[in-house]
């Protein structure tokens, strides 16, 4: 079995070096990038088997935006992506997101929150607003909150890379 390649994208350099050390010790080939833009460039060269992305980098939604553009890129359409982030989310069902979107624009309603949609079948999605104010609904492979135990992260990676 060839060495699996993982690309870590996070602007917290101290954080990713530790994750890189952990994953390297477990036999993965690791590259890191410090921003969404850098991550996208690096992806083309490195061709990873899995991505681990932070969300809040050069913009509040840089990680989600990168996730979205990777999905529209032919190479990475099905490459697993783990979102590993410290952002404040706010769990809801998809009906609630629908209600939210209907309430959009009504008085006293904040929409700057990222809503994490936890579906009954275990899949996760986020409803977020990007830097230019556009709203997106994005299906995710995996969402892990920081700080994370190494065992949990390793288990999640193994789930995708078996």
Partner 1 sequence: MINLPDSENFHKKVFWLCRLRWFAVAGILFSTIFSKLVLNVQLNFIALFFIAGLLALSNLTHILFLRYYLNKREGKSLIKLSYDINIQILSDFIFLTLLLHFSGGIENPFIIFYIFHMIISSILLPKKWTYILTTIGILLFASLAVSEFLGVIPHYSINKYISLLIQNDPTYLFSSLLIFAFTSYLVVYITFSLSEKLKIVEQKLKAANNDLLEKDHIKDEYVKRLTHDIKGHIAAIKSNLEVVYKQYAAPVDDKNYKFVEKAYFRTEKINEFIYSLLSLTNMRLNNKFDKVKFEIIETLNNVVNSNKLYADSKNISFTTDFVITNSYYKGIQSSIEDVINNLVQNALKYTPAGGKVHLYVVSDDKKFSFTVTDSGYGIPKADLAFIFDEFYRASNVKNSIKDGTGLGLSLVKAIIERHLGSIHAESALGKGSKFIVNLPHYQ
Can you give the binding site for partner 1, defined by CB under 8 A? 12, 14-15, 17-19, 21-22, 24-26, 86, 88, 90-93, 96, 99, 118, 146-150
Dihedral of the alpha carbons of 120, 62, 81, 93, in degrees to the nearest 10: 0
Residue 99: CB partners within 8 Å, gap ≥ 6?
none
- Residue 130 Cβ, how far from partner 1 at the closest point, in Å? 20
| Closer residue to partner 1, CB minimum distance, 28 or 64 | 28
- Residue 150 Cβ, how far from partner 1 at the closest point, in Å? 5
- Residue 113 Cβ, how far from partner 1 at the closest point, in Å? 8
- Residue 54 Cβ, how far from partner 1 at the closest point, in Å? 10
Count CA atoms closer than 13 A to 67's CA, side-chain side.
28
| Closer residue to partner 1, CB minimum distance, 66 or 153 | 153
Q: State the pairing for strand pair 124-129/114-118.
A: antiparallel
| Closer residue to partner 1, CB minimum distance, 22 or 69 | 22
Which tokens is 152 given? 């949990």
Residue 28: CB partners within 8 Å, gap ≥ 6?
3, 4, 5, 6, 157
- Residue 92 Cβ, how far from partner 1 at the closest point, in Å? 5
Contact 79, 141 (CB under 8 A): no
| Closer residue to partner 1, CB minimum distance, 12 or 29 | 12
| Closer residue to partner 1, CB minimum distance, 47 or 137 | 137
């Amino acid at each position: 079995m060839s060495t699996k390649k993982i690309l870590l994208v996070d602007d917290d350099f101290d954080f990713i070096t530790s994750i890189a050390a952990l994953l390297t010790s477990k036999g993965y080939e690791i590259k890191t990038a410090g921003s969404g833009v850098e991550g996208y460039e690096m992806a083309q060269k490195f061709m990873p088997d899995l991505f681990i992305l932070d969300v809040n980098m050069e913009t509040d939604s840089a990680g989600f935006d990168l996730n979205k553009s990777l999905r529209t890129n032919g190479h990475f359409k099905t490459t697993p992506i783990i979102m590993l982030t410290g952002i404040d989310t706010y769990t809801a069902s998809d009906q609630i997101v629908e209600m939210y979107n209907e309430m959009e624009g009504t008085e006293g309603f904040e929409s700057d929150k990222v809503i994490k949609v936890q579906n009954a079948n275990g899949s996760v999605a986020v409803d977020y607003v990007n830097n230019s104010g556009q709203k997106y609904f994005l299906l995710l492979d995996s969402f892990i909150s920081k700080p994370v135990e190494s065992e949990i992260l390793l288990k999640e990676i193994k789930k995708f890379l078996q």
